[in-house]
Amino acid sequence: MLLLFGFKTVHKALPGRTATCPHCGAFIHHLLEEQATKFTLFFLPVLTVSRKFRITCTNCGYASTISGARKRALEGRL
């Protein structure tokens, strides 16, 4: 029996937030992106293995990875 499996990273843009950038110090809009690594079976995503959130400053382009809890805090849903 042949099993085709692998991993696939899916990027999804989320609504951004206004926050203070730790790099340039500007209180400006930040872009938020979800990066989900999915386990695939026969090229179909079966389950999410890991999920990361990437926040990018629109002023200087500084990008950092944040946890799901920090992302929820940014959305005001803690």
Does the protein bind Zn ion through residue 29 (CB under 5 A)?
A: no
The DSSP code sequence of 15-48 is: EEEEEE-TTT--EEEEEEEEEEEEEEETTEEEEE
Contact 67, 53 (CB under 8 A): yes
| Beta carbon of residue 71, minimum distance to Zn ion (angstroms, whole number) | 18
| Beta carbon of residue 70, minimum distance to Zn ion (angstroms, whole number) | 17
Return the C-alpha torsion angle 14, 59, 51, 41, nearest 10.
80
Q: Which of 8, 23, 29, 72 binds Zn ion (CB under 5 A)?
A: 23
Q: Which of 10, 41, 44, 60 binds Zn ion (CB under 5 A)?
A: 60
> Given the rule CB under 5 A, which residues bind Zn ion?
21, 23-24, 57, 59-60, 62
